[in-house]
Amino acid sequence: MRTRIKICGLTRAEDVRAAVEAGADAVGFVFAPSSRQVTLDDAARLAAAVPPPVARVGVFVDASFEEVESAVRVVGLTAVQLCGSETPEFCSGISVPVIKASRVGTAFAWTALEPYRGQAAAQLLDTYVSGKMGGTSKTFAWNDIGESPGWASLFVAGGLTPSNVAEAVRAMRPFAVDVSSGVESAPGLKDPSLIAAFCAAVRAVDQEVYR
């Protein structure tokens, strides 16, 4: 067993290269409005430099079905991450695996995710911040939400950095961890040394947790 790593919010070729060279299992391209948003053309150019088996994930917030499927075709996405109010039926209709994001706040309950079981390939937990649908740079209380009820493909996001990702893995033992701002020198600009440090921290804690 090992924890998969997704480096999200890539906007430059050098950032894609740094993620791949550090051993990331997936890279993410954000199509929703943010400092990390890329166009379809830019994402297609960046994705062309991503070798298999590294996954190419498109990140959307309440985009239309047609917009998501167009990005899948144009960019060559191998998965999509849906961070809005997309329904289970919407998720099940997408032509590639779906990672459905949910936000963890004080009222979080695992039962809220149940309608997506079998409709989304994976669940991603991010931190609830009012008015934001992701990219919060805030962690949630990993030890306080209870054990995942059978979600084999669980992603943990929200405020992860090279210095705290080991704690998150110990607490939740997720299928994958997802980082964006925690490996940046400025919004949308990744730092190769932080990417390498993040990946190294995950590999090190895996040796401890799964030995």
Asked if 157 and 136 count as a contact pair (C-beta separation under 8 A), the reply is no
Alpha helices in 81-176 (DSSP H): 88-93, 165-172
pLDDT tens per residue across all 211 residues of the chain = 899 999 999 999 999 999 999 999 999 999 999 999 999 999 999 999 999 999 999 999 999 999 999 999 999 999 999 999 999 999 999 999 999 999 898 778 889 899 999 999 999 999 877 666 556 678 988 888 877 777 889 999 999 999 999 999 999 999 999 999 999 999 889 999 999 999 999 999 999 999 8
pLDDT at residue 108, rounded to an integer = 83
Domains and CATH numbers, the chain: 4-210 (3.20.20.70)
CB atoms within 10 A of CB 11: 20
Catalytic residue check, 126:
yes
For residues 80 and 68, give the distance between their C-alpha atoms in angstroms, rounded to a whole number.
Answer: 8
Which residue, among 160, 155, 156, has the nearest Cα to 182 in the 3D structure?
160
pLDDT at residue 133, rounded to an integer = 55
- Catalytic choice (83, 126, 178, 199): 126
- Catalytic choice (8, 83, 91, 199): 8
**Residues, the chain:** 211
Catalytic residue check, 199:
no
- The percent of the chain in helix, strand and coil, each rounded to the nearest 5, is 35, 25, 40
For residues 123 and 117, give the distance between their C-alpha atoms in angstroms, rounded to a whole number.
Answer: 9
- For residue 37, the cross-strand partners are 30
